[in-house]
Amino acid sequence: MKSESYPGTFIVIEGADGAGTTTQAKKLADHLDAHYTYEPSKSKIGVKVDELISTDDSSADTVALAFAADRMVHLEEEVIPKLEKGETVVCDRYYHSSLVYQPLMGEDFEWVKSLNRSAIKPDLTVVLDVSAEEGMERVEQRGKDGNVFEQLDFQQKVVVKYRELKQLEEPIEFVDASNSKEKVFNSVKVALEDHLL
Q: Is the pLDDT of residue 146 over 80?
A: no
Q: Is the pLDDT of residue 1 over 90?
A: no
Task: Give me the sign of the Cα torsion angle 42, 2, 17, 175.
Answer: negative
Q: Is the pLDDT of residue 3 over 90?
A: no
Band of the pLDDT at 2, cuts 50, 70, 90?
A: confident
Please tell me the distance from the alpha carbon of residue 95 to that of residue 100, in angstroms, as a whole number. Answer: 9
Domains of the chain: 9-195 (3.40.50.300)
Please tell me the distance from the alpha carbon of residue 176 to that of residue 128, in angstroms, as a whole number. Answer: 6
The pLDDT mean for the chain works out to 94
**Closest to 18 (Cα-Cα) out of 122, 125, 149:** 149
Regarding pTM above 0.85, the answer is yes
Q: Is the pLDDT of residue 197 over 70?
A: no
Query: Three-state DSSP class for 140?
Result: helix
Instruction: Count the Cβ atoms, other than its own, within 10 Å of residue 104.
Output: 16
Q: What is the pLDDT of residues 51-62, one digit of tens each?
A: 999 988 899 999
Please tell me the distance from the alpha carbon of residue 122 to that of residue 124, in angstroms, as a whole number. Answer: 5
- Count Cα neighbours of 156 within 13 Å in the Cβ-side half-sphere: 3
Query: Three-state DSSP class for 170?
Result: coil
Q: What is the pLDDT of residues 79-134, one digit of tens each?
A: 999 999 999 999 999 999 999 999 999 999 999 999 999 999 999 999 999 999 99
Q: For the chain, what percentages of helix, strand and coil (3-state, to nearest 5) are there?
A: 55, 15, 30
175 Cβ contact partners less than 8 Å away, ≥ 6 residues apart:
126, 127, 128, 129, 184, 187, 188, 191
Q: Is the pLDDT of residue 196 over 90?
A: no
